[in-house]
Amino acid sequence: MSRTLRPVVLLCALPAAFFVAFFLAPMAVVLIASLTTPGGQPTFAHYLRILADSYHWDVLWVTFRIGALTTLICVLIGYPLAWYLVRTVRFRPWRRFCVILLVVPLFTSNIVRSFGWMVLLGRNGLVNDGLIGLGLIERPMRFLGTELGILIGLVYILLPFIVLAVGNALAKVDPALEHASADLGATPAGTFRTIIFPLSLPGLMAGAVMVFMLAVSAYVTPALLSGGRITVFSMLIFQQYSSVFDFNYGGALSITMLVLTLALVAIAGRLSEPGRA
Amino acid sequence: MVALILVRIVSFAALAYLALPLVVLVGASLTTTSFLAFPPQGLTLAWYGKMLGDPSYVSAFTTSTLLAVAATVVAMLLAVPAAIAIARYRFAGRRLLSETLMSPLILPHVVLGAALLQYGSAIGLVRSFPALLVGHVVIIMPFVLRAVLPQLTDEQKSLEDASADLGARPLTTFFLVTLPQIRSGLVSGAIFAFIASWINVELSIFNTTAELTTIPVKLFNYVQYTIDPTIAAVSGLTIIVAAIVIVLLDLTIGLDVLSERRR
């Protein structure tokens, strides 16, 4: 054994074994199950069933539409908020308070956060009361059980990821670049467009990809805010495992979701590579 | 100028949006009514008392906490050696190892939970504390790695080499030289790992039972059928604990991640 190999094996044997036993092996079991009959014969039937069923296409479409809209809204709200926290706030205690406000939800379970929105978005919830009080609507709107309700909950849960990612990128932009740009006669808007925005783009893309992944695979928030009226893909998977007990078909659904999500993320990653945008 | 005003408006609205559910839940948990009311009507801690008097909540809190502590300890024991190997040695499969260890971060937890259930039923590891534990360790290891890896810098490597040259054995070097330097990474990694385990639903839900359940899973099952101020009290407690942990974090290691570079 070479001089490097021995310590590496000593250090990595246990973690590698653990991951093989409780991560790679389970994933392999799902993959194999998705390609076999309950009797163990190889088959593509489960995937063909997914492809043939238009219901699955509808669910996929809803899931990815919710994912894309969540990401878009998070970017539109998150970028200005990150800008505000990094560039505008000068009063330190207030900024600290804002950062804490941003992080507290991350430390609270999705259940609690979604439950908060269940209370707020109910027929007689604060949101409806407020909208009626402002004279914007006459009768209570239905939020629970609608895509809008799910979007409000998911954006809430995922917004901190974008703000932190963009905020980190903005905080790293060297102030000298801005001074140079201004000295050379660029307007603030011009400096933003040509210097700051491109430099914050990697952070923005990383945050957006993270948000999209989490939104597409979210289970708890859609389950609670859909009131059973809207089905997203993770609910299909959960049903197969917890009530239908068709592990082969559930496996095929799992692999389908995994492959689609990773493919879209890979495409987004490619598009955001420097020099391609 | 217009842009700046717009940034302010969006930011204040977003901050209010972030605070709203937390304020409403904590507020509603204090109501004297038997239904959820916000603003609360009257102020009482009775719902908190009811929660603490209910053995099923207490046992779910206990299970969650024990699980998160155990998972964090195991994840640290596995992730720190792996991080040292990845940071210090160049070996075949090094990238593969680090990418595999990080991949639970980008894997839908429902998929992983389903996989562990199916695999667990094949090897007889289901619906038990160990079954919950192995899943939690897998999903929280990336948090430890992500916090520790950047701290294992090359400058430190020369200190380790010096220690070795002076005759210290590898373990002595680890405890006296490496460990003190990566301490803050270990602390923040452990905190994020603990929290990720403590709030997990998607993975735990496959392996919990009526007797063995974690607090988020218990809440999830409850909230779908009943909504009463006890639930708000349980939620309120988790929010208050989270807020205390974060303020402590801010005071100790500093959370001001968004501050601009010193000019």
A chain contacts of residue B102, beta-carbon cutoff 8 Å: none
Stated pTM of the model: 0.89
For A120-126, the CB contacts below 8 A with 24+ separation are: A120/B20, A120/B21, A120/B24, A121/A149, A121/A152, A121/A225, A126/B20, A126/B24, A126/B38
The pLDDT value recorded for residue A52 is 92
- pLDDT tens-digit series, residues A23-60: 999 999 999 999 998 888 888 989 999 999 999 999 99
Cα–Cα distance, A116 to B238 (Å, whole number): 13
Q: Please answer yes or no on whether B101 and A19 come within 8 Å at the CB atom.
A: yes
Q: Please answer yes or no on whether A11 and B85 come within 8 Å at the CB atom.
A: yes
Which pLDDT band holds residue B126 (cuts at 50, 70, 90)? confident
The pLDDT value recorded for residue A222 is 94
The pLDDT value recorded for residue B36 is 79
The pLDDT value recorded for residue A276 is 43
Three-state SS at A272: helix
Q: Please answer yes or no on whether A80 and B25 come within 8 Å at the CB atom.
A: no
- pLDDT tens-digit series, residues B133-148: 999 999 999 999 988 9
The phi and psi torsions of B181 (rounded to 5 degrees) equal: -80, -25
Which pLDDT band holds residue B92 (cuts at 50, 70, 90)? confident
The pLDDT value recorded for residue B183 is 85
Which pLDDT band holds residue B262 (cuts at 50, 70, 90)? very low
- Does B153 or A217 have the greater pLDDT score? A217
Q: What's the average model confidence in pLDDT over A196-206?
A: 88
A172 touches chain B (CB under 8 A): yes
Cα–Cα distance, B173 to B162 (Å, whole number): 9
The phi and psi torsions of A42 (rounded to 5 degrees) equal: -65, 140
DSSP assignment letter at A43: -
Q: Judge whether residue B257 has pLDDT over 80.
A: no
Average confidence score pLDDT of chain B: 87
Q: Which of B133-137, B200-204, B250-254 has the highest mean pLDDT?
A: B133-137
Q: Please answer yes or no on whether B224 and A224 come within 8 Å at the CB atom.
A: yes
Q: What's the average model confidence in pLDDT over B166-179?
A: 85
Of A14, A99, A120, the CB nearest to B78: A14
Map tokens 């991080």 to a residue.
Answer: B83
Q: Are A21 and B130 a contacting pair, CB within 8 Å?
A: no
- pLDDT tens-digit series, residues A245-274: 888 999 999 999 999 888 888 887 777 665
A265 touches chain B (CB under 8 A): yes
- Bridge partners of A58, per DSSP, are none
Cα–Cα distance, A79 to B50 (Å, whole number): 43
- pLDDT tens-digit series, residues A83-122: 999 888 888 888 888 988 888 888 888 899 999 999 899 8
A24 touches chain B (CB under 8 A): yes
Cα–Cα distance, B152 to B86 (Å, whole number): 10
Which pLDDT band holds residue B256 (cuts at 50, 70, 90)? low
* HSE (side-chain half, CA atoms, 13 Å) at B50: 15
Quote the minimal CA–CA distance from B39 to chain A in Å. 9
Tell me the CA distances in angstroms from A130 to A114, A140, B9, one per residue in order: 19, 10, 19
Three-state SS at A223: helix
List, in order, residues 6 or more apart from A189 with CB less than 8 Å away.
B3
Of A26, A111, A216, the CB nearest to B220: A111
Q: Lowest-pLDDT range, A152-156, B220-224, B256-260?
A: B256-260
Q: State how far Cα B254 lies from the chain centre.
A: 18
Question: Which of B110, B139, B239 would you mutate first to test chain A, the one with the most A CBs within 10 A?
Answer: B110
Three-state SS at B210: coil
Q: Judge whether residue A1 has pLDDT over 90.
A: no
- pLDDT tens-digit series, residues B111-120: 999 999 989 9
Cα–Cα distance, A44 to A11 (Å, whole number): 41
Question: Nearest-CA neighbor of A123 among A112, A131, A111?
Answer: A131
Which pLDDT band holds residue B217 (cuts at 50, 70, 90)? very high
Which pLDDT band holds residue B263 (cuts at 50, 70, 90)? very low
Burial annotation B118-148 (CB, 10 A radius, 16+ → b, else e): bbbeeeebbeeeebbbbbbbbbbbbbbbbbb
Which pLDDT band holds residue B65 (cuts at 50, 70, 90)? very high
Q: Please answer yes or no on whether A107 and B90 come within 8 Å at the CB atom.
A: no
Average confidence score pLDDT of chain A: 88
Q: Please answer yes or no on whether A95 and B247 come within 8 Å at the CB atom.
A: no
Q: Are B75 and B142 a contacting pair, CB within 8 Å?
A: no
Q: At what angle do helices A147-172 and A54-83 cross, to 10 degrees?
A: 40
Q: Which of A152-166, A258-272, B164-178, B221-235 has the highest mean pLDDT?
A: A152-166
The pLDDT value recorded for residue B252 is 75
Here the tokens at position B104 are 């639970």
The pLDDT value recorded for residue B259 is 67
Of B11, B91, B170, the CB nearest to A81: B11
A chain contacts of residue B202, beta-carbon cutoff 8 Å: 219-220, 234
